[in-house]
C-alpha cells in the first residue's frame, strides 16, 4: 500500500496519511484499498485509527504515534492484517 503523503507531527504525536486526491482514481477500486478500508471500518476504533474526509483527500489518522519507527510498524500492521 502506498500513500501519496504522510506526516508525523512529533510535537503533537500525530500520524496523518493522505490518500490519493482524485476520488475517481482507480486506486479506490483496488482490492488493496478495499481490504484496508474494510479492516479499518471493523478494527479502526480499537486501533485508535480514524478515517477522515477532507475537501481534497481521504486521511487516515492516529494520535499518540511518537516515532517514525512506530508509525512504520503501525502502517505495516494495518497492511499485513488487511490483506488476506
SS3 at position 62 = strand
Residue 39 in any domain: the answer is yes
Helix 68-82 and helix 31-47, axial crossing angle in degrees, nearest 10: 120
Domains: count for the chain: 1
Residue 71 in any domain: the answer is yes
pLDDT tens digit at each of 84 positions of the chain: 555 455 555 566 888 888 888 888 998 999 888 998 999 999 999 999 999 998 888 999 998 888 888 888 888 888 888 765
Residue 83 in any domain: the answer is no
Task: Report pLDDT for 83.
Answer: 65
Task: Report pLDDT for 14.
Answer: 85
Q: What pTM did the predictor assign?
A: 0.75
Q: Give the domain range for residue 27.
A: 5-78
Helix/strand/coil (H/E/C) assignment for every residue in 6-31:
EEEECCCCEEEEECCCCCCCHHHHCH
Amino acid at each position: 500500500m502506498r500513500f501519496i503523503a504522510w506526516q508525523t507531527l512529533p510535537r503533537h504525536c500525530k500520524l496523518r496519511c493522505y490518500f490519493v486526491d482524485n476520488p475517481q482514481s482507480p486506486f479506490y477500486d483496488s482490492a488493496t484499498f478495499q481490504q484496508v478500508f474494510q479492516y479499518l471500518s471493523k478494527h479502526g476504533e480499537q486501533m485508535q485509527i480514524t478515517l477522515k474526509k477532507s475537501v481534497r483527500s481521504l486521511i487516515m489518522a492516529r494520535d499518540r504515534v511518537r516515532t517514525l519507527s512506530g508509525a512504520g510498524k503501525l502502517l505495516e500492521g494495518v497492511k499485513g492484517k488487511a490483506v488476506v
